[in-house]
Chain A
Amino acid sequence: MKFILTNNPLVKTKLGNSIKIEFCDVSLHQILLLTRDYIHKGYKLLSHPLSGSIKPNETLYKSIMLDANIEKLDMQSLSIIENSIMLAKNFADRDIKIMQQHKDDMMTVDLSIISGRL
């Protein structure tokens, strides 16, 4: 069954009635690692982990859609998530305080991207 793995509270609120949401209050980087865990458990990616051009060190929020693929390990998903984790490491920690208004904007953009084709 399809579901969205997310740390974005707005996605949970806005899309919770139309698709299963796996909400985890963790960092963006941890969402990528959790996605890899799911893929190793037989799930496959439905959306790209590096969606959006806002870099992994610039936004706090990430939503990724996954689906069960119990037959075998989905190698394409594994390749994409491993490459995404590796590329995300190229962005140094910015060490800046983020205002709530900016957090709200980040949530809005992430919601727009993940809900674009729902």
Chain B
Amino acid sequence: MNLELGYIKIKDIKFADKAEVKNGVLSVSKKDLEKIILEDENFTAVDFDIAKPGESVRITPVKDVIEPRCKVSGGGDIFPGVVSKVHTVGTGRTHVLSGMAVVTTGAIVGFQEGIIDMSGVGADYTPFSKTLNLCINFTPKKGLHTHTYEESLRKAGLKVAYHLGKLGKDVKPDEIKSYEYLPMMQSAKKYPNLPRVGYVQMLQSQGLLHDTYVYGVDMKQSLTTMISPLEIFDGAILSGNCVSACDKNTTYHHQNNPVIEDLFEQHGKTINFCAMIITNENVFLADKIRSSDWTAKIVSHLDLDGVIISQEGFGNPDTDLIMNCKKVEGVGVKTVIITDEYAGREGTSQSLADADPAADAVVTGGNANQVITLPKLDKVIGTLDYTDKIAGGFKGSLNKKDGTITVEIQAITGATNELGFNKLSAR
């Protein structure tokens, strides 16, 4: 399996009558996008806005962040099983509108979350302060059921990203990265002296606002399985996770998974990256036992030397993380786990809901209970109505006198990301 990612660097976004990518500028037709979104009769109106790095802009509440991509060659299409037909992806050439993102906002439920500050101290905590963001704010029809609203909003964001990605199909990329992912036996033969390393990615799968889709399949309903990391670059894994802004993986995180990128960086040099496994984080203990058993069975069967295990979320998945770690170590395979912490505002309390001596190599994405005061910014895209109720917010979070917001960093999108797509950690 070989995939080329062609990065088209987007330097600016503007609204225009004609949609195109020219000289690094993305021109967006509001009319075109409105038509795409309002095809879904669950929406009565939609607004668009553009937020640029350094601007005095706050985007909240954020639901998903998506990078526009398109297939130039190879089988299948972007976001298979959801926006495009089900077909295996991960080969050929894919073009990426790099340096920008589609950001969906909306109040699906009354308790909301997800802040992206484009400037000020908060901007340091989110990677999406560095991207040019096309923001979409949806107005649902009255009385729309929560489940339906979530699904419509999720799909609308993906459809917009798909549509914008197509604009880059015939554009010459500024940079091309090539990836090779060989069948297991061939990879072992090619790199006989390198340790065989796999990646176990745990995917959020608990219910409404807590789900992840793989080729359109709700991961709750899947056993632990294998996937090529190159499929993920083409949008095979999509976020339906709207809760826990700091440590949820948006679709953008999946598309740009830094664990995968770093494993490929070391592939053929210090390691042989030859397996990727995806597993779920269901609520029921029987599911946890079954899925972690399966993870260890696959790891053992593949005769790996080591695996990296990344978590997504808080509390419940801590138990899955430790089960995966303990069982994989139990079959004689070394693990490194990636998580984040809820160690109290002082950072002095127990930080995970589970632990085991086998988890002796741990990478943290930071303490989500850390408190931060965000400055008043001139413009808000979305609404501040939910600031007190936001995850990490509390009574008086929004200071009505000076406009500052004091919250735990769990309110900030991507602040303690458990794929390491952030700046926080500890040594």
Query: A-side interface residues toward B, CB under 8 Å?
Result: 45-48, 50-55, 58-59, 65, 76, 79-80, 83-84, 86-87, 89-92, 94-96, 98-99, 101-102, 104-106, 108-109, 112-117
Q: Is B388 an interface residue (CB 8 A)?
A: yes
Contact B315 A94 (CB under 8 A): no
Contact B314 A55 (CB under 8 A): yes
Contact B207 A106 (CB under 8 A): no
Q: Which B residues are in CB contact (< 8 Å) with A80? A: 285, 319, 353-354
Given A112-B207, A113-B206, also A53-B354 (CB < 8 A): no
Contact B353 A96 (CB under 8 A): no
Q: What are the 8 closest A-B residue pairs judged by CB atoms, nearest first?
A: A50-B315, A102-B110, A53-B244, A112-B208, A105-B109, A112-B207, A113-B207, A94-B394
The smallest beta-carbon distance between B276 and chain A, in angstroms, is 24
The residues in B between 20 and 66 inclusive whose CB is less than 8 angstroms from any CB of A are: none
Q: Which of A83, A87, A92 has the most CB of B within 10 A?
A: A87
Contact A46 B284 (CB under 8 A): yes
The smallest beta-carbon distance between A80 and chain B, in angstroms, is 6
Given A53-B314, A90-B369, A109-B109, 11 other A-B contacts at CB below 8 A? A46-B285, A54-B243, A55-B391, A84-B315, A94-B395, A96-B388, A99-B110, A109-B208, A113-B208, A117-B284, A117-B287
Inter-chain CA distance A51–B241, complex, in Å, is: 14
Contact A53 B210 (CB under 8 A): yes
Given A50-B314, A53-B313, also A105-B243 (CB < 8 A): no
Which one, A59, A90, A104, contacts B344 given CB within 8 A? A90
The chain B residue sitting closest to A97, CB to CB, is B395
Q: Is B297 an interface residue (CB 8 A)?
A: no
The smallest beta-carbon distance between A32 and chain B, in angstroms, is 11
Contact B353 A87 (CB under 8 A): yes
Contact B342 A87 (CB under 8 A): yes
Q: Which B residues are in CB contact (< 8 Å) with A101? A: 110
The chain B residue sitting closest to A108, CB to CB, is B146
Q: Is B263 an interface residue (CB 8 A)?
A: no
Contact B282 A116 (CB under 8 A): yes
Contact A51 B395 (CB under 8 A): no
Consensus secondary structure, chain B interface: loop
Which one, A48, A65, A76, A115, contacts B315 given CB within 8 A? A48
Contact A96 B316 (CB under 8 A): no
Q: Which of B146, B220, B241 has the most CB of A within 10 A?
A: B146
Which one, A52, A83, A104, A116, contacts B353 given CB within 8 A? A83
Contact A51 B206 (CB under 8 A): yes
Query: B-side interface residues toward A, CB under 8 Å?
Result: 109-111, 146-147, 204, 206-210, 220, 241, 243-244, 247-248, 282-288, 313-316, 318-319, 342-345, 349-355, 369, 388-389, 391, 393-395, 410
Contact A102 B389 (CB under 8 A): yes
Which one, A46, A96, A104, A105, contacts B394 given CB within 8 A? A96
Contact A90 B110 (CB under 8 A): no
Q: Which A residues are in CB contact (< 8 Å) with B389? A: 58, 96, 98, 102
Contact A116 B111 (CB under 8 A): no
Contact A90 B109 (CB under 8 A): no
Contact A90 B342 (CB under 8 A): yes
Q: Which of A58, A108, A112, A117 has the most CB of B within 10 A?
A: A58
Which one, B110, B248, B284, B319, contacts A105 given CB within 8 A? B110
Q: Which A residues are in CB contact (< 8 Å) with B204? A: 53
Q: Which A residues are in CB contact (< 8 Å) with B146? A: 105, 108
Given A53-B313, A80-B319, A113-B283, also A94-B243 (CB < 8 A): no
Contact B284 A47 (CB under 8 A): yes
The chain A residue sitting closest to B243, CB to CB, is A53
Q: Which of B204, B244, B315, B316 has the most CB of A within 10 A?
A: B315
Contact A51 B369 (CB under 8 A): no
The smallest beta-carbon distance between A41 and chain B, in angstroms, is 18
The smallest beta-carbon distance between B144 and chain A, in angstroms, is 13
Contact A48 B394 (CB under 8 A): no
Given A52-B316, A102-B109, A108-B109, also A47-B285 (CB < 8 A): yes
Given A53-B204, A90-B344, A113-B206, also A47-B283 (CB < 8 A): yes
The chain A residue sitting closest to B342, CB to CB, is A90
Contact A116 B394 (CB under 8 A): no
The smallest beta-carbon distance between A90 and chain B, in angstroms, is 4
The chain A residue sitting closest to B248, CB to CB, is A53
Q: Which A residues are in CB contact (< 8 Å) with B315? A: 48, 50-53, 84, 87
Inter-chain CA distance A21–B283, complex, in Å, is: 18
The smallest beta-carbon distance between B3 and chain A, in angstroms, is 32
Q: Show 13 residue pairs from A and B whose CB-CB distance is below 8 angstroms, ordered by the A residue.
A: A48-B283, A48-B285, A50-B315, A55-B410, A87-B351, A87-B352, A91-B342, A109-B210, A109-B243, A113-B206, A113-B283, A116-B220, A117-B220
Inter-chain CA distance A76–B283, complex, in Å, is: 15
